[in-house]
Chain A
Amino acid sequence: MLAALEVTPAWYLVLGSLLFGIGAIGLLVRRNPLVMFMCVELMLNAVTLTFVTFSRMLDDIGGQTVVVFVLVVAAAEVVVGLGIIVALLRKRPEATADDLALLEG
């Protein structure tokens, strides 16, 4: 039975889209900036997983190369983003994303 459950690339793709969906919905419904930030990270990683999968399926190293780039960008983004969020929460511990509406047109 277990042997019949062969893990095909499609599984990874399904997992990736599930993670992406969770991240997207989380981003839309939650108000805590830290959680929203984590949702973004989740989406990023979902895409990364998809890239790797396709890279394997199509036997193309390009996909994995992109992943390395995404990791670097994500790391940089975490540095900046977390810095801002931590600074913000220190000042106003109860702040939500909707309170940060200073850039209104």
Chain B
Amino acid sequence: MVDLVWLIPALPLAGFLVLLVAGRRLGEPLAGWVATAACFASFVATAIVFVGLLDKPEEERHVVKTLFEWLPTGGFSVDLGFLADPLSITMALFVTGVGSLIHLYSIGYMHGDGGFPRFFVYLNLFVFSMLMLVLGSNLLVTFLGWEGVGACSYWLISFWFSDEKNASAGKKAFVTNRIGDWGFMLAMFLSFASIGSIDYGDLALAAETGTFAAVTATGIGLLLFVGACGKSAQLPLYIWLPDAMAGPTPVSALIHAATMVTSGVFLMTRVNPILAAGYDWAPDVIAWVGALTALFAATIAVAQNDIKKVLAYSTVSQLGYMFLAVGIGAYVAAVFHMVTHAFFKALLFLGSGSVIHGMHDEQDMQRMGGLRKVMPITAATFMIGWLAIAGVPPFAGFWSKDEILLYAYDLHPALWVIGLVTALLTAFYMSRQVYLVFFGEPRWNEDPASHAVDVGDEGAAEAEAADAHADGHAEIHPHESPWLMTLPLVVLAVLSVLGGGLNLPFTDDSKFLEHWLHPVIGENEAHIDVATGVKWGLAAAAVVLAVVGIVAARAVYLRRKERVTEPTVLAHGWYYDEAITAFVGGPGEAAFEATAAFDRTVVDGAVNGVAGLVQRTGRLLRHAQTGYVRSYALGITTGVVIVLGYFLTRLTF
């Protein structure tokens, strides 16, 4: 059954090809159903492979299926092969599972959009690329998928490309990811240069047998981490993810919350033997970057008014948690949080999409409120997602976040404190969002001038849009979304409730995920020794913080009547974007101009100078060519005499 692994990416690829050829003819909604069927079939195939792997004894759960030799080049060959092991199949399960739900949701969400078939072409191509990334048996196949998901992300962010803002958001994501991809490629080159292979099996073997020098292993690990920082939106490369919200909301849910952005965490987990073979400080770098990103993004999320921007910064923050876990060696906790995060963050994004749909494309939370009465299903499911991410037991997010904090407490108390503060902030900003959107007085028909105009250009643009809105339709009547959109919400809500069951910490037997992932991570998983009483205390502390966050948000946003204004510095994301713009636009542009001038004058000058010199010499020499045969003959004779004379004198002396 495990041999069927090639079917997993093949099915979405088939869906993509069918839609590419006949998408327009199939039209709406058939194109969407074809795409959904392809993705769901892939989910079934994954489930079959999963069962097949479960059947095998633990040490045999590592199946490499090579389709063909992709690049045969002398001493270096790369196979197009798939690696089915617990890690890749776990990823594939939630990529295809959550993916299918989001496909289904999109049929409802994209209803009436002119680009309906095109949307599903991209979506299926994305699922295919993501599965190549996850299932690849070497770095190059993973890189193929890595670039594929990057391209799909670019196409889908700027899906409504006729709006300049969306197009440039796509470009921003693409360019920022290039920096990360540069790290990924250098890591591949380094790996090939040192052991002559980029196969995961060879890499793990070389790392375990000590073939890698510590410095090489550290180099490969950190370069791959640069790639992961780009793809998973960590400091300092996170800036593209908030802008990526310009894409349709299902895209934000699938690509920019559940799957693609977690591929950095996946990659780090995949190469855990290399991280273990490197210097000890390298994982610390990863942990600190993750922890700081988590805290940094959480503070920004507190002050966002766009319903999707809050979730975007929240995603950056949660990804930071995962990298924190990877850095301290808590790989199981990282994967656990990745899975539960996929459930509840996809749920939250789809819920926000449902709200935006019901509010007729209004995204400003200050213009919502009281929506739980008109959108009961969306509100109920969204609140489950909220409790899950806030860390309230027994929802999924509590278990996974708590496990990360437990490891951090034992291994790195400083990181644990950062994690706790982030948890508090997470509960606060998510509660703020829930109270602003679903509770309180309805504000959706308020005069836009009555609420304080937001800061900066964005605020002005929003106010303008709101004006246009007020002129266009005098009243907004929010409505619940169709069943196509609410069904995925309900399924994801159930998963967000039950997801914690994957790895319950009570007995050894209840830790399914830990046993399941053991063949991949083995002895590289960090070991902690914390008394049971302390564990309960830590869990209690985390729950208390979550409740404090929720109560605080309730006091600030539900009790007060007037609008609360958040600190400007947070609304602007610590001016990080502005700083980059100022830097690239100021000294950066000057440097580029200088480089261009150098190219024009020195490099082009040298080339043109040589050409000019040759031309001038030729113009001089052409006078020697008279066309008179006898003068040539004289020249030849003179030459012969000189050469002869030279030889004769040499003979004599």
Contacts and interface: CB of A to CB of B under 8 A. Distances in A.
Interface string B630-647: 100110010000000000
Contacts of A97: 628-630
Contacts of A100: 627, 629
Given A24-B637, A28-B637, A105 B630 contact: no
Given A24-B637, A28-B634, A28-B637, A104 B627 contact: yes
Contacts of A28: 630, 633-634, 637
B625 A103 contact: yes
A98 B630 contact: yes
Interface string B595-628: 0000000000000000000000000011111111
B427 to A, nearest CB: 88
Contact of A27 (B621, B623, B627, B630): B630
B626 A104 contact: yes
Contacts of A105: 621-627
Contacts, number: 33
A98 B628 contact: yes
Most A C-beta atoms less than 10 A away, residue of B623, B627, B634, B637: B627
B304 to A, nearest CB: 76
B628 A27 contact: no
Contacts of B627: 100-105
- The DSSP consensus for interface residues of chain B is helix
Contacts of A101: 626-628
A100 B637 CA distance: 20
A35 to B, nearest CB: 12
A83 B634 CA distance: 24
Nearest to A96: B630
Interface string A5-48: 00000000000000000001001100100001000000000000
A28 B625 CA distance: 17
Contacts of A104: 625-627
The number of chain A residues touching the other chain, given as a range, is: 10 to 19
Contacts of B629: 36, 97, 100
B586 to A, nearest CB: 56
Contacts of B624: 105
B578 to A, nearest CB: 65
Interface string A35-79: 010000000000000000000000000000000000000000000
B53 to A, nearest CB: 79
Most A C-beta atoms less than 10 A away, residue of B621, B625, B626, B630: B630
Nearest to A100: B629
Contacts of A31: 630
A27 B631 CA distance: 10
A98 B637 CA distance: 18
Contacts of B625: 103-105
Contacts of B634: 28
Contacts of B622: 105
B454 to A, nearest CB: 76
Contacts of B628: 97-98, 101
Contacts of B633: 27-28
A39 B634 CA distance: 14
Nearest to A31: B630
A28 B629 CA distance: 9
Nearest to A39: B633
Most A C-beta atoms less than 10 A away, residue of B623, B625, B629: B629
Nearest to B640: A24
A97 B632 CA distance: 12
Contacts of B621: 105
Most B C-beta atoms less than 10 A away, residue of A27, A100, A105: A105
B622 to A, nearest CB: 4
A101 B626 CA distance: 7
B630 to A, nearest CB: 6
Contacts of B630: 27-28, 31, 36, 97-98
Contacts of A36: 629-630
B633 to A, nearest CB: 5
A28 B628 CA distance: 11
Contacts of A98: 628, 630
A19 to B, nearest CB: 15
Nearest to A27: B633
A17 B637 CA distance: 14
A24 to B, nearest CB: 6
A27 to B, nearest CB: 5
A102 B629 CA distance: 11
A97 to B, nearest CB: 5
Contacts of A102: 627
A32 to B, nearest CB: 11
A10 to B, nearest CB: 17
A100 B621 CA distance: 21
Interface of B: 621-630, 633-634, 637
Q: For the complex of A and B, list the 3 residue pairs with the smallest distance between their C-beta atoms, beginning with the closest.
A: A105-B625, A101-B627, A104-B627
13 contacts: A27-B633, A28-B637, A36-B629, A97-B629, A100-B627, A100-B629, A103-B627, A104-B625, A105-B621, A105-B622, A105-B623, A105-B624, A105-B627
Given A28-B634, A105-B624, 4 more contacts: A36-B629, A100-B627, A100-B629, A105-B623
